[in-house]
């Protein structure tokens, strides 16, 4: 009876996957991913091609998601940890299957990482309480038919990486993908994991299993990503913005290996602990390719994160993003998890970056204990300044 009731609720949610008009012409669509299944301690790292998404020449205003169960209930992080979800844009050949990668043309964001972090949207445990709204008159413009190659159509890809931590021996260790807890020596491609790699994405790929408490009952659950998109139809007055994703591990060399995405935090020593200096600070400097106005900024960090900041060449603060931690058990307020990141909404035109300016990105993590596989990404939306044609030569 419980399962039948849940199926009815999901059917009603599918019926809700239609456009709804919000304020000033804003349309809203709520959608479900295909289901994925998890048992205690297990990892799901799924890729869903050609997901339901608004069509046409539009300006995206917001995208957010969360894990729900088959009864539409939000799932708290202490049951299923949402390591990350990302949404990629691509062109798929019209007559090809959704996942036929031989006929896919990726449409990446504007940088800066060359071969990684190509997504348009992406968050993790902080997803429920992090604002993703793009303020007026700006928008992330997609769906322009003039940009689509002949024979292709615009499509969207969802990747969700979730870890069921019910009954595990070390909940934090499982969410940080510590290799010893997953008992793996090879990655998902079959390559050997180096001995000095203690934890991270290489050790918690799809269907891997984290160490469990003996005797814990194993029940497989059916889960979904519920995601909500807000957009407006394209109008000439909309100012397009570019998505830049900055990575604290970026070496700035513009090579395929420059962005490692994750890194480890060592536990502070006794002297640092006695002085109250158990903060790990990582700094990198990156060159922004085009000038423009920053109209939005937010960081992505994992448990232990203490905030991130972006500075201009002259030392001016461009944006600081600070995590908020939960204090209870309910979804959206889970104790010891990051449940939200603060965002920056500068007054339009007030935060400018120059063409080729070197920016400084800083990441702070608590080092009261070791952390593996942590991230510090910084998303900024930039309204690029109009590029004027060169002046005609003087006669």
Q: Are residues 182 and 303 in the same domain?
A: no
Residues 6+ apart with CB under 8 A from 374: 176, 262, 263, 264, 265, 301, 302, 304, 305, 365
Taking residues 181-190, report their average pLDDT. 95
Q: How confident is the model at residue 389 (pLDDT cuts 50, 70, 90)?
A: very low
Q: Are residues 119 and 139 in the same domain?
A: yes
Taking residues 94-101, report their average pLDDT. 81
Q: Are residues 255 and 209 in the same domain?
A: no
The phi and psi torsions of 228 (rounded to 5 degrees) equal -120, 130
> Model pTM?
0.91
Q: Output the domain CATH number for residue 325.
A: 2.60.120.230
> 186-189: long-range contacts (C-beta < 8 A, 24 or more apart)?
none
298-313 per-position pLDDT tens digit: 999 999 999 999 999 9
Across the chain, which distance is largest between two alpha carbons, in Å?
87
Q: Are residues 93 and 203 in the same domain?
A: yes
Residue 393 within any structural domain of the chain: no
Q: Are residues 134 and 259 in the same domain?
A: no
**Inter-residue contact 98 to 155 (CB < 8 Å):** yes
Domain that holds residue 249: 242-384
DSSP symbol at 42: B
Distances (CA, A) of 280 to 261, 263, 276, 304, 362: 17, 11, 12, 10, 10
Q: Are residues 204 and 337 in the same domain?
A: no
Residue 6 within any structural domain of the chain: yes
Q: Are residues 119 and 159 in the same domain?
A: yes
Q: Are residues 338 and 208 in the same domain?
A: no
Q: Are residues 324 and 355 in the same domain?
A: yes
Which residue among 233, 257, 280 closes a domain? 233
Q: Encode 229-249: b = buried (16+ Cβ within 10 Å), e = exposed.
A: bbbbebeeebbebbbbbbbbb
Which residue among 211, 233, 255 closes a domain? 233
Q: Encode 302-319: b = buried (16+ Cβ within 10 Å), e = exposed.
A: bbbbebbbbbbeeeeebb
Which residue among 233, 265, 290 closes a domain? 233
Number of domains into which the chain is organized: 2
pLDDT of residue 254: 66
The phi and psi torsions of 310 (rounded to 5 degrees) equal -120, 130
Q: Are residues 227 and 250 in the same domain?
A: no
């Amino acid at each position: 009876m419980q399962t039948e009731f849940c199926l009815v609720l999901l059917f009603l949610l599918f019926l809700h996957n239609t456009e709804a008009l919000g304020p000033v012409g804003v349309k809203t669509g709520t959608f479900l991913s295909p289901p994925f299944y998890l048992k205690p301690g297990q990892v799901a790292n799924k890729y869903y091609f050609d997901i339901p998404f608004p069509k046409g020449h539009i300006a995206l205003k917001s995208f957010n998601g969360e894990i729900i169960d088959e009864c539409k209930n939000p799932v708290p992080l202490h049951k299923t940890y949402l390591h990350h979800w990302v949404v990629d844009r691509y062109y798929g050949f019209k007559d090809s299957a959704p996942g036929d990668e031989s006929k896919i043309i990726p449409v990446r964001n504007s940088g800066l990482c060359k071969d990684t972090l190509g997504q348009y949207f992406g968050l993790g445990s902080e997803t429920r309480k992090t604002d993703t709204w793009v303020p007026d008159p700006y928008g992330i413009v997609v769906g322009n038919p003039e940009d689509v190659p002949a024979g292709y159509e615009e499509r969207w890809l969802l990747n969700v990486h979730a870890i069921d931590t019910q009954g595990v021996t070390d909940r934090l260790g499982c969410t940080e993908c510590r290799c010893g807890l997953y008992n793996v020596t090879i990655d998902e491609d079959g390559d050997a994991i180096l001995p000095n790699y203690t934890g991270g994405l290489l050790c918690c790929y799809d269907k891997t299993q984290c160490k469990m408490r003996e005797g814990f009952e194993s029940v497989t659950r059916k889960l979904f990503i519920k995601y909500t998109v807000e957009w407006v139809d394209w109008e000439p007055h909309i100012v397009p913005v570019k998505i830049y994703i900055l990575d604290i591990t970026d070496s700035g060399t513009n090579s395929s290996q420059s962005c490692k995405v994750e890194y480890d935090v060592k536990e502070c020593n006794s002297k640092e602990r006695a002085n109250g200096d158990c903060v790990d600070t990582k700094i990198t400097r990156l060159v922004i390719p085009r000038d423009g106005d920053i109209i939005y900024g937010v960081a992505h960090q994992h448990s232990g994160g203490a905030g991130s900041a972006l500075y201009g060449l002259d030392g001016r603060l461009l944006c600081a993003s600070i995590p908020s931690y939960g204090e209870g058990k309910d979804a959206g307020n889970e104790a010891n998890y990051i449940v939200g990141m603060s965002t920056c909404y500068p007054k339009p035109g007030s935060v400018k970056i120059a063409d080729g300016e070197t920016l400084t990105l800083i990441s702070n993590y608590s080092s009261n204990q070791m952390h593996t596989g942590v991230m510090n990404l910084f998303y900024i939306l930039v309204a690029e300044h109009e590029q004027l044609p060169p002046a005609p030569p003087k006669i």
